[in-house]
Amino acid sequence: MSRNDEIADLLEEFADLLEAQDVNYKPRAYRDAAENVRGYHRPIEELAEEGQEAVEEIDKVGDAISSKIVEYLTTGSIEELEELRDEMPVEMGALTSVEGVGPKTVGALYEALGITTLDELEAAAEAGEIQSVKGFGAKTEQNILDAIPFARQTQERELLGEARPLADSVLAYFADVEPANRAEVAGSIRRWRETIGDVDVLVASDDGESVVEAFTDWPEADSVIEAGTSKASVRAGGVRVDLRVVVPEEFGSALQYFTGSKEHNVHLRNVAIDRGLKINEYGIFDVSEVENPDDGQRVGERLGGRTEEEIYGALDFPVFPPEMREDTGEIEAAMDGTLPDPIEEGALRGDLHTHTDWSDGNNTIAEMVAAAAERGYEYHVVSDHATGPGMVGGVGLDDDRLREQMAEVEAVAADADIPVLHGVETNIDKAGGLSTDDDLLAELDVVVASPHAALDQDRETATERIVTAIEHPSVDVLGHPTGRLLNRRPGLPLDYERIAEAAAANDTALEINASPYRLDLSGEATKFAVQAGALIAINTDAHSPGELDHARYGIHTARRGWATEADVVNTRDIDGLRDFLH
Ligand code: DGT
Ligand code: CA
Ligand code: CA
Ligand code: ZN
């Protein structure tokens, strides 16, 4: 975590605590400052070194806030924040993760009932105490109760997009550590699950103690949770990272075992048993012949374990892509020879959903096109927000502005290294209608239609709505189909089979929005869609050049959904893409 992020988090906490105490206007100032500090192009500690005035260069950071930033960077804490925390010792993050509970509610419930944690909130709601608090009713109490399980589940898990960079960093670190002969991540991070409980790291070495020592010295480790002779755990940027060191002969079997999923492993073990084999984290063994007469246990000849190939190969299986190891049919498919070859990183030839400073993006059209070309893309689609439901503060473009933009895109395209297509991200209203004029939609090269509002519909209404949008003759891509935000809101409950059938019938691609905050469609939903014959588009929804690199989260989510290269429309070249576009 950069210091800018760290300070921004503190300022947001400040805002939450002030809001909880019912202070007016001030929270807004802290939130604005937090956002600008987070997005500032220079490290905040550098500015602070130059003096408080340099910190005030940041928009919306005035005297009061800059002095607190400097105080934090020089003393390690902010006195006023400590006082606020003492006055209201609540677990703000956990409590506000409950949908419908904001800092003000937290403050009111703390004052009235002394609630500080999620458990206390649940107990109070179950006991009917909340409805007796002024300003609350039975309905609010029930809503809180209903939302707690989702909140609890999300509290414990990190986003893939936060954990993956840490995993990359720990692997890069071990690449230079002498006694570490090989390092790999295992567990859910290797399977690219959308959220991660902890990051599991496996290292092959005959010198466990040195590897553990190097691990606890890893510069990104904030604290050491435990450290033994071949195992250790640290906390890094709020994420728990577990290390295991194994001897090189057992690296493959350990990697297979600790990659999981548990369900995949159980199924695999049962297949092995049927064939007289035993697998565990130490290797694969032939137990068909030998029996230990003392305890009746079978002890057999070791067939391998240095590599995953030795484990899977002994069972006549290919090495399953980690993303597919969920026991959702991959073992049966491998037996039938129908296991698909999933799409690989690098297969995309362009991004069909990106933003510029014409709407809420940070960069110009030309900058985004250049960034796409730099990444080796063969074309680029500009698809800024249209005005409509869910767009606030003048972010979206109305039809006139979209026509103006058309001329600008043409001008940029004339000088660009790759073809530039003009698209739009139009909004799907609550009944499935689109917020851009039909004639204009028909003129645009690419139409992405996305839900941005009314995301609390029931399954039938939501499915009907989305199907209506899919059936619109100009819509090419259904953008982030459910509108979910990971750990924040569940999004529309959709009947994926119906959505996929409609998509296939209308040549509309279903997006895997690769933003690590969304991953929408999910891997599970993608699997439905692909099996129903729908095409997928993997897009980043980038609002800056750097976000184009989120494409890999989309690719691995597609792999979790068993999507092949042929299933993904933006692996096609420009001619293939044009053939697809309406
Ligand atoms: P997470 O961390 O909650 O996102 O999920 P995982 O899958 O990384 O789970 P974790 O960290 O508890 O354990 C890593 C892997 O170790 C898991 O995917 C499979 C394997 N494993 C752990 N415990 C068991 C077990 O009791 N039986 C089997 N077969 N495998 C296990
Ligand atoms: Ca894990
Ligand atoms: Ca673990
Ligand atoms: Zn969007």
Record: fold of 3-155: DNA polymerase; domain 1 (1.10.150)
User: CATH 3.20.20.140: does it fit domain 350-580?
Assistant: yes
Our mutation pick for probing the ligand 1 site, out of 262, 265, 323, 560, counting the most ligand atoms within 8 A of Cβ, is 262
**pLDDT number for residue 293:** 62
Look at residue 295 and tell me whether its pLDDT is greater than 70.
Answer: no
Q: Residues near ligand 1 with C-beta < 6 Å?
A: 187-188, 193, 196-198, 200, 257-258, 260-262, 265-266
Proximal ligand: closest to the CA of 193: 1
Across the beta sheet with 283-286, the strand order is 277-280, 283-286, 301-304
**pLDDT number for residue 459:** 96
Look at residue 1 and tell me whether its pLDDT is greater than 60.
Answer: no
Record: fold of 257-336: Beta Polymerase; domain 3 (3.30.210)
- Please name which of 464, 405, 451 lies closest in space to residue 425, comparing C-alpha atoms: 451
Our mutation pick for probing the ligand 1 site, out of 164, 188, 264, 279, counting the most ligand atoms within 8 A of Cβ, is 188
What is the position in ligand 1's atom list of the atom closest to the CA of 189? 8
Spacing, Cα 242 to ligand 3 middle (Å):
6
**pLDDT number for residue 153:** 74
Strands 509-513 vs 477-478: parallel, antiparallel or unpaired: parallel
Look at residue 481 and tell me whether its pLDDT is greater than 90.
Answer: yes
Region 314-342: what's the mean pLDDT?
98
Region 47-71: what's the mean pLDDT?
93
Spacing, Cα 311 to ligand 1 middle (Å):
18
Q: Collapsing DSSP states into helix, strand and coil, what is residue 354?
A: strand
pTM score, whole prediction? 0.81
Minimal-distance CA residue to ligand 1 atom 5: 188
Minimal-distance CA residue to ligand 1 atom 10: 187
CATH (residue range 158-246)? 3.30.460.10
Minimal-distance CA residue to ligand 1 atom 26: 262
Q: Is residue 494 within 8 Å of residue 482, measured between CB atoms? A: yes
Whole-number Å distance between alpha carbons of 570 and 445: 14
Return the C-alpha torsion angle 517, 518, 519, 523, nearest 10: 120
What is the position in ligand 1's atom list of the atom closest to the CA of 242? 11
**pLDDT number for residue 288:** 80
For residue 32, the cross-strand partners are none
Minimal-distance CA residue to ligand 1 atom 15: 258
Return the C-alpha torsion angle 174, 176, 181, 184, nearest 10: 30
Average pLDDT value for the chain: 94
Minimal-distance CA residue to ligand 1 atom 9: 187
Domain ranges in the chain are: 3-155, 158-246, 257-336, 350-580
**pLDDT number for residue 152:** 82
The long-range contacts involving 385-388, CB below 8 angstroms and separated by at least 24 positions, are 385/355, 385/359, 385/360, 385/424, 385/425, 385/427, 386/424, 386/425, 386/426, 386/427, 386/435, 386/436, 387/427, 387/435, 388/426, 388/427, 388/429, 388/434, 388/435, 388/436, 388/452
Fold agreement (158-246, 350-580): no
Whole-number Å distance between alpha carbons of 570 and 421: 13
Spacing, Cα 261 to ligand 2 middle (Å):
10
Spacing, Cα 452 to ligand 4 middle (Å):
7
Whole-number Å distance between alpha carbons of 414 and 411: 5
Q: Collapsing DSSP states into helix, strand and coil, what is residue 171?
A: helix
Taken in order 311, 317, 318, 320, the sign of the CA dihedral is negative
Look at residue 351 and tell me whether its pLDDT is greater than 80.
Answer: yes
